[in-house]
Amino acid sequence: MKTNKLKVIPSILHEKCPHCLEGNVFEKKKHFFELPVMKDRCDKCGYYFDREPGYFLGAMYLSYGMAVFQGIIAFLICYFLFKGLDTLTIGFIVVGVIIGFGLKNYKLSRIIYMHIFPQ
């Protein structure tokens, strides 16, 4: 299936299927503290998301890279825009940003990984 390159980035950000760019990859949350649950197949096109055991280990590196990038950006914002903050406060803010984006990084890294290595 030929995908439109302009629709890929919005479909990744909206957590859509890498094949049809329409179906949701993750189940809807029933409550706020629920962990993300990935569907087995796309509701629209039947694309199989989970290919083999250990397939998403590579997505872990993407998630790590995103967390490091977000931590660096948070540090630079704190360091240059809020010069009066002490080192411990900046450290707590950076860790808070990394933890705050953790679940989103988890989901996005899996979807990006599926786009990089399609079936």
pLDDT tens per residue, range 68-87: 999 999 999 999 999 889 99
Adjacent-strand bridge partners of 38: 26
| pLDDT range class, residue 111, cuts 50, 70, 90 | very high
Domain limits, the chain:
5-116
Selection from 28, 4, 46 nearest residue 107 by Cα? 28
pLDDT: which is higher, 35 or 119: 35
Q: What is the mean pLDDT of residues 2-28?
A: 85
Structure pTM?
A: 0.83
Question: Can you read off the two tokens belonging to residue 10?
Answer: 């919005």
DSSP code at position 7: H
pLDDT in tens, 36-60: 888 989 998 888 888 888 888 989 9
